[in-house]
Amino acid sequence: MGTCFASLCGGSPSASTSYEDVVWSLAAPDHVEPESEVVISWKVPQNYGIAWIGIYKQGQEDDTKAIQWNYINDANGSLVFPFKGLEDNAEYEARIFQGEEYDKKKAISNSFVVGSWTISVDQRIEKSKPVYAYYTAPSNFRAGWIGLFRASAKDSEALDYVNIDKPSGYVSFSTEKLVTDFAYEARIFHGSGFECKKKSSFFTLVS
């Protein structure tokens, strides 16, 4: 019996992915703390040849003005860029190019913001007065919450919480549920889950 090839005998060839099926893509973190490294991930076709990634201030129309750049060395992976040349409270993006020039821009990453998360409260608060928690978040912040906790509590054990949708401001909490025998703290979270970004210093109540 002769050899049967799928293309001749009615069978289906096995599925395969050609080089051109892979889309050029880049991913950046949403937020970078000042003086921290920036990790950019990429995925490109296997036959990409030569390609490089540049970091740009968002809105920069001139592709020749990369703040930093580096070649990639594989079809997928990540590059670590130092904080050099980046500014606090500014927004950036990564761009990937094929070849040695600027005319084959293949993808742009999501934007990322350099900025700090902060939260603070007074260290001693009178029992009859509210707790004010002052906070800052990166400028691309859209939603999160601030919770009031006993100092040793888990992130899921908030005594009270307030949703926030601005990158800076303050929230207030009643002291009715608090007692003078414990230390407390405020915590700021990104999104609706338990991604805690910063904790305040401890505070106590005074009669």
* pLDDT tens digits, 153-166: 999 999 999 999 99
* Token output for 39: 């990790």
Paired residues of 92 in beta bridges: 57, 112
Paired residues of 204 in beta bridges: 124
Task: Reduce the DSSP state of residue 7 to 3 states and report it.
Answer: helix
Which one-letter DSSP state was computed for residue 130? -
* Token output for 137: 């978040």
* Token output for 34: 């000042």
| pLDDT above 80 for 22 | no
Q: Is 154 exposed, middle or buried (0-12, 13-18, 19+ CB in 10 A)?
A: exposed
* Segment among 6-20, 106-120, 140-154 with least mean pLDDT: 6-20
